[in-house]
Structure 1
Amino acid sequence: MAVRRIKPNIRSERFEQSRALYRDVLGLTEQPGLDWILFFGTDQREVQLSVMGQDLKSTVYPDVSVEVDDVDAVYARAVEAGVEIVYPLTDEEWGLRRFFLRDPGGTTVINVTQHN
């Protein structure tokens, strides 16, 4: 199993102001997103951040996304280790297979994903 990228998820309901900051001030490129999430980055796939309102499917907000090449293996290890799963392993209609887990400190929710 390999980690492909780690990216922060910034919560905001002020998408136009976020666009102004990340695109116009910091010079990041806005990439295709969804109604509830914006993506900003560069030509390097590893450089990306998300600005999101409430997650479309989950009532829990993920602070960080970790993209892996085998989400099923990570899920199995998390369950075996007794890690708190706060959103079940799910195939989303927008092309991700993902689950959320809680950081041992109790505050960070991590969105573990794999592109289908």
Structure 2
Amino acid sequence: MTLADPERPEVQLSLMTHDETAPVVPIASIEVDDVDARYAAAKASGAEIVHELTDEPWGVRRFFVRDPSGYVVNVLSHR
């Protein structure tokens, strides 16, 4: 379920129990201006990519990365 303020739809809170295309459910999602640049930076840093950079059918481009504490974070941009 995604909750958003009608006057600021870019600010969202999504509650997830499963993910349609990824192997794990992320703890949080972060929208960025340039997901390709963030993906390149994550790869260059040696971070563990859990779900490769993907164009999803519901209009986002995203990847999942594991943070230093072991949590999986969804990094995305809307197309």
Q: Same fold (TM over 0.5)?
A: yes
C-alpha distance in 2 between matches for 1:96 and 1:47: 15
Highest Rg: 1 or 2?
1
CA–CA separation in structure 2 for the residues paired with 1:52 and 1:64: 9
Q: CA RMSD in A?
A: 1.2
Shift of 1:46: 5.1
Mapped to 2, the partners of 1:80 and 1:70 lie a distance apart of: 16
Post-superposition offset of 1:99: 0.1
Structure 1 regions of 5+ residues with no counterpart?
1-37
Report SS of the residue matched to 2:50: strand
Which 4+ stretches in 1 moved above 3 angstroms?
Answer: none
User: Residue 115 of structure 1 aligns with which residue?
Assistant: 78
> Higher helix fraction: Structure 1 or Structure 2?
1
1:88 matched residue in structure 2: 52
Q: How does 1:24-63 map to 2 (within 5 A)?
A: 38-42=1-5, 43-45=7-9, 47-63=11-27
Runs of at least 5 residues in structure 2 that lack an aligned partner in the other structure: none
Deviations 1:63-97 (Å, cap 9, x if unpaired)?
11110111010000100000010000001111110
Normalised by the length of structure 2, the TM-score is 0.90
